[in-house]
A and B are shown apart, each in its own frame.
Chain A
Amino acid sequence: MGDILGLVGKRLGLGLIILLVISIIIFFMVELLPGDIAQAVLGQGATEENLAALREQMGLNKPAVVRYLDWLSGAVLLDFGTSIVTGAPVVETIGTRFMNTLFLAAYAAVIAVPISIILGVLVALLRNTIFDRAANVVTLSFISSPEFFLGYILILYFAVKWQMFPAISSLSDNMTFLELLERTFLPALTLVLVVMAHMMRMTRAAIINLLASPYIEMARLKGTPPWKVIVKHALPNAWAPIINVVALNLAYLITGVVLVEVVFVYPGIGQALVDSVAKRDFPVVQACCLIFAATFILLNLAADVGAILTNPRLRHPK
């Protein structure tokens, strides 16, 4: 057991360090964004003294390192400062948006993950049949298409021509859960299509790779029926690569979210990021970036840890 704890601990530590480095990068990249904060707050007609006073008040004259540390210590406590545009604490602004994005990602994941794994296993079993080849072409096409393209196509058909779902996913406070599902169906579907394609292909590759192992041949030579070979012999060893794939694709969902939210005008954190970059709302930008990065790292970490935990050699050391 100690082996595993050690390995997992090391990965966690590494993840934290990477997050730290990224926070530095984010902070200083945003610093480099053109535009003067004080100017943005007070507007064009502000006088020099007012600007100077505001800068003093906002602590903009402190050295960069100090400002970074201030920001970081706040961030750890989930205090990202106040938004320049709304004047409200950043956490409030993006809190709900983050929840919205999580919902969308979860919606997509719940649909995509089980289907992908099952389809992936099926395609691996039926490899080189028409079913497999057709699936290959379809998934390759979906992976290749940019998300916004898929989004547009879906809007074109489902929202405009066939009028089954709304084109814009606006949320209101008093919808029912069913309404929520209906309104967010199209963006979720877009995400599902791309992610499912990836996951299916990776699952297929992992299973086919496994099926070439000597112990699979041994199982066959013992007279095990094909379905049992897959379920009892291949799958238990396939979890490691599959979990890896799923976690990595969930991480990918986070980046896919930005484009999809923009296309469907969905009030999520991706939309918030794009808006705030346009409006030069630096605290919000920094906060959004940090959250994205943290989620990304966390999911990659989960993938690594998953690989460690599903390795029988590590679970049962000599």
Chain B
Amino acid sequence: MAEQKKEVLLKIRDLKIQGYTDETWIDIIKGVDLTLHRGEVMGLIGESGAGKSTIGAAAMGYARDGTRITDDSSIEFDGMELTTASEGERRALRGSRIAYVAQSAAASFNPAHKLIDQHTEAPLQYRIKKRVEAQEDGVELYRRLRLPNPDEIGFRYPHQVSGGQLQRAMTAMAMSCRPDLIIFDEPTTALDVTTQIEVLAAIRDIVEQFNTAALYITHDLAVVAQMADTIKVLLKGNEVEQAPTEEMLNNPKEDYTKSLWAVRDFTSPQRYRPKDGVPLISVKNVDASYTGGAKVLDDVSFDIYEGMTVAVVGESGSGKSTTARCITGLLPPSKGEILFRGEPFEPDYRKRPREQLRQCQMIYQMADTALNPKVKISEIIGRPAQFYSGLTGAALKNRVDELLDLIELDPSKFYNRYPPELSGGQKQRIGIARALAAEPTFIVCDEVTSALDQLVAEGILRLLDKLQNELKLAYMFITHDLATVRSIADEVVVMQYGKVVEQGPKDDMFKPPHHPYTDLLLSSVPEMDPNWLTTLLEERGVDNVGDAASAKMAEQSK
């Protein structure tokens, strides 16, 4: 994190970008200024739709399909005005002096070519290196980015390499011509917490080593705190505030910035299970696998009591969603059983009577696939009420209005709308209403806030908490985000590779001593302290973080 004043590399003034939707051009970016010095890392933070990625592309003089940069904007890179330069001149900058690291490495690598070939493409094209030289440099970069088997990993195809490794390979590819500026577009958003650490460490290292300037685009505040020297906040295409990192974290000036920082403050009070009492849902020694495959769940057991929230945490592939599928009956367990108030549930949902089916409801992660875009809201919510309680006509309409009120949406405005007209947060609320319409006792929340922006997610969590208090609902909250767990959970179940690694009341879980995996998981979540990453690496050593550590643990426990 360089401190000295260096010369200006990128100067953007009054940037205006328009996007083409529904046959008209509308403003996406409405006049943004940006100044970046050599070797400086600036974090661009904002919610989705704020236009961060578009600005990132514009810094390269590139307008994405369906967008255009208006004439009165000024983008000056190292003295060259990009808006008036020819396409040839702009293209000459890309890859050689300005590089781009995309959000999804898996989609951004060409599946038909080896990694190293794609890496050497830019240096060869710009005649900076010869092929063998470029390949050796690539291997060296892989080594510096701490990729396993740096000598041979480049000679693989993208689909043969894991997500986190691909992201680092893409960073290496961006470095291949030693550019002056790299644009990182949400590089770790799609990765697990433990994977993310390694990528963050790698990126920060290499940017420092080569003194490259960077624009780091993300919506994750804690991440940006680790990576950037300066932070700029965006909201709906407008600048809100800009300041050096420390100052921004400790002393935000604008209200919007303050609200972003405050997001992680919501906590619901801890509940404890009753001394005696039958758990509402009891998962007992469940094994499960998909047809003919290996075991996906191995001896999973935990209980959920009425009116309480059990958070099931783990990384992708840990078996959290699979357990939910066993409980709802979509995947009958191969061993063990699911009990409801002490009585076993039919393993296959098709054999369950309606009364059993109504007890368990599910809310999904992606609202786009969770709601039928061609069905009216009133019917989406009304159908379960009609189906289970036999309500019709005026009674049904009242119930739907009631439910809309419960989820804090105005019935007169939303009754006749369709899902595509709603925002992400509103759609998720409809999903909640649909679940409530069946009057269940237990709801599975499958990563319901993971696809939402921080502020919106907070709103959903508060709503769920309120509903839980009013209606005595039990939740199984599946998530990979520990901050959410801290906010809303009463009990926590940690899963890894299909096994339950640790479980217990929330308060206990967040205090040491833990199971080493829980420890790893907890420590991998970025904090709002700019020195968090540095401290973590110093304390644990580079080899004991991230995927490498987690894999080691799995080996040892076998």
A residues contacting B by CB (< 8 A) are 212-215, 217-225, 228, 232-233, 236-237, 312-313, 316-318
The segment out of B92-100, B233-241, B479-487 that lies at the interface is B92-100
The segment out of B110-118, B329-337, B455-463, B518-526 that lies at the interface is B110-118
The one of A218, A223, A228, A312 in contact with B108, judged by C-beta atoms closer than 8 angstroms, is A218
State the Cβ distance, A123 to closest chain B Cβ, in Å: 18
B125 on the A face (CB < 8 A):
yes
- Check if B160 sits within 8 Å of A316, measured CB to CB: yes
The one of B62, B108, B126 in contact with A214, judged by C-beta atoms closer than 8 angstroms, is B108
State the Cβ distance, A246 to closest chain B Cβ, in Å: 19
B121 on the A face (CB < 8 A):
yes
B493 on the A face (CB < 8 A):
no
Given A214-B107, A237-B112, decide whether A220 and B62 contact each other with a Cβ distance below 8 A: yes
Residues of A within 8 Å of B173, CB to CB, are 222
Residues of A within 8 Å of B121, CB to CB, are 219, 222, 224, 232
Q: List 29 A-B contacts (CB under 8 A).
A: A212-B65, A214-B104, A215-B107, A215-B108, A215-B110, A215-B111, A217-B102, A217-B108, A218-B100, A218-B108, A219-B121, A221-B62, A221-B99, A222-B94, A222-B95, A222-B100, A222-B173, A223-B91, A223-B96, A224-B125, A232-B121, A236-B113, A237-B110, A237-B112, A312-B112, A313-B157, A316-B156, A316-B160, A318-B159
- Check if B157 sits within 8 Å of A312, measured CB to CB: yes
Q: CA A317 – CA B102 in complex, angstroms?
A: 25
- Check if B108 sits within 8 Å of A316, measured CB to CB: no
Q: Assuming A221-B60, A237-B111, A317-B160, what are 9 further A-B pairs, CB within 8 angstroms?
A: A217-B64, A220-B62, A221-B99, A223-B92, A223-B122, A223-B126, A228-B125, A236-B110, A318-B160
Residues of A within 8 Å of B112, CB to CB, are 236-237, 312
Residues of B within 8 Å of A312, CB to CB, are 111-112, 157, 159
Q: CA A318 – CA B95 in complex, angstroms?
A: 29
State the Cβ distance, A113 to closest chain B Cβ, in Å: 22
- Check if A313 sits within 8 Å of B125, measured CB to CB: no
State the Cβ distance, A99 to closest chain B Cβ, in Å: 38
Residues of A within 8 Å of B216, CB to CB, are none
Smallest CB gap from A214: residue in B: B107
The one of A214, A222, A313, A316 in contact with B122, judged by C-beta atoms closer than 8 angstroms, is A222
Residues of A within 8 Å of B156, CB to CB, are 316
Chain B 103-144: CB-based contact to A (< 8 A → 1; otherwise 0): 010011111110000000110011000000000000000000
Given A221-B95, A221-B100, A222-B121, decide whether A215 and B159 contact each other with a Cβ distance below 8 A: no
Residues of B within 8 Å of A228, CB to CB, are 125
Q: CA A316 – CA B157 in complex, angstroms?
A: 7
State the Cβ distance, A309 to closest chain B Cβ, in Å: 13
Q: Interface size on B (CB < 8 Å)?
A: 31
Restricting to B154-196, which residues have a CB under 8 Å from any CB of A? 156-157, 159-160, 173
Smallest CB gap from A237: residue in B: B112
- Check if A213 sits within 8 Å of B160, measured CB to CB: no
Residues of B within 8 Å of A220, CB to CB, are 62, 94
Q: CA A222 – CA B107 in complex, angstroms?
A: 15
Which 9 pairs show the lowest CB-CB distances between chains A and B? Answer: A223-B94, A223-B95, A222-B95, A236-B112, A214-B107, A218-B108, A221-B100, A215-B110, A316-B157
Q: CA A213 – CA B96 in complex, angstroms?
A: 22
Q: CA A217 – CA B100 in complex, angstroms?
A: 11
State the Cβ distance, A209 to closest chain B Cβ, in Å: 13
Smallest CB gap from A228: residue in B: B125
- Check if A313 sits within 8 Å of B111, measured CB to CB: yes
Residues of A within 8 Å of B62, CB to CB, are 220-221
Residues of B within 8 Å of A221, CB to CB, are 57, 60, 62, 94-95, 99-100, 102
B residues contacting A by CB (< 8 A) are 57, 60, 62, 64-65, 91-96, 99-100, 102, 104, 107-113, 121-122, 125-126, 156-157, 159-160, 173
Residues of A within 8 Å of B93, CB to CB, are 223
State the Cβ distance, B293 to closest chain A Cβ, in Å: 16
State the Cβ distance, B261 to closest chain A Cβ, in Å: 32
Smallest CB gap from B109: residue in A: A215
Q: CA A237 – CA B95 in complex, angstroms?
A: 22
Residues of B within 8 Å of A317, CB to CB, are 160
State the Cβ distance, A210 to closest chain B Cβ, in Å: 10
Q: CA A222 – CA B111 in complex, angstroms?
A: 16
Q: CA A228 – CA B107 in complex, angstroms?
A: 19
Given A220-B62, A312-B112, A312-B157, decide whether A225 and B91 contact each other with a Cβ distance below 8 A: yes
Given A224-B125, A316-B160, decide whether A219 and B94 contact each other with a Cβ distance below 8 A: no
Residues of A within 8 Å of B113, CB to CB, are 232-233, 236
Q: CA A218 – CA B159 in complex, angstroms?
A: 17
The one of B64, B102, B104, B125 in contact with A223, judged by C-beta atoms closer than 8 angstroms, is B125
Smallest CB gap from B62: residue in A: A221
Q: CA A221 – CA B62 in complex, angstroms?
A: 8
Q: CA A36 – CA B64 in complex, angstroms?
A: 71
Q: CA A186 – CA B122 in complex, angstroms?
A: 49
Smallest CB gap from A233: residue in B: B110
Q: CA A313 – CA B110 in complex, angstroms?
A: 11
Residues of B within 8 Å of A225, CB to CB, are 91
Residues of B within 8 Å of A212, CB to CB, are 65
Residues of B within 8 Å of A232, CB to CB, are 113, 121
Q: CA A70 – CA B150 in complex, angstroms?
A: 64
Which of A214, A219, A224 gathers most chain B CB within 10 Å? A214
Which of B112, B125, B159 gathers most chain A CB within 10 Å? B112
Smallest CB gap from A240: residue in B: B112
Smallest CB gap from B170: residue in A: A218
Residues of B within 8 Å of A236, CB to CB, are 110, 112-113
Residues of B within 8 Å of A213, CB to CB, are 107
Q: CA A212 – CA B65 in complex, angstroms?
A: 9
Smallest CB gap from A212: residue in B: B65
State the Cβ distance, A56 to closest chain B Cβ, in Å: 56
Residues of B within 8 Å of A237, CB to CB, are 110-112
- Check if B95 sits within 8 Å of A224, measured CB to CB: yes
State the Cβ distance, A312 to closest chain B Cβ, in Å: 5
State the Cβ distance, B446 to closest chain A Cβ, in Å: 26
State the Cβ distance, B20 to closest chain A Cβ, in Å: 14
Q: CA A215 – CA B173 in complex, angstroms?
A: 13
Smallest CB gap from B117: residue in A: A232
Q: CA A126 – CA B95 in complex, angstroms?
A: 25
Q: CA A225 – CA B126 in complex, angstroms?
A: 11
State the Cβ distance, A262 to closest chain B Cβ, in Å: 44
- Check if A218 sits within 8 Å of B91, measured CB to CB: no
Smallest CB gap from B174: residue in A: A222
Residues of A within 8 Å of B104, CB to CB, are 214
Smallest CB gap from B112: residue in A: A236
Q: CA A220 – CA B125 in complex, angstroms?
A: 13
Residues of A within 8 Å of B126, CB to CB, are 223
The one of B92, B102, B125 in contact with A218, judged by C-beta atoms closer than 8 angstroms, is B102
Q: CA A215 – CA B160 in complex, angstroms?
A: 16
Residues of A within 8 Å of B160, CB to CB, are 316-318
State the Cβ distance, B54 to closest chain A Cβ, in Å: 13
Residues of A within 8 Å of B94, CB to CB, are 220-223
Q: CA A219 – CA B109 in complex, angstroms?
A: 9
Smallest CB gap from A311: residue in B: B111
State the Cβ distance, B60 to closest chain A Cβ, in Å: 7
The one of A219, A223, A316, A318 in contact with B110, judged by C-beta atoms closer than 8 angstroms, is A219
Smallest CB gap from A238: residue in B: B112
Q: CA A225 – CA B94 in complex, angstroms?
A: 11
Residues of B within 8 Å of A219, CB to CB, are 110, 121
Q: CA A213 – CA B111 in complex, angstroms?
A: 11
Smallest CB gap from B60: residue in A: A221
Q: CA A318 – CA B159 in complex, angstroms?
A: 7
Q: CA A232 – CA B114 in complex, angstroms?
A: 12
Q: CA A225 – CA B91 in complex, angstroms?
A: 8
Smallest CB gap from B64: residue in A: A217
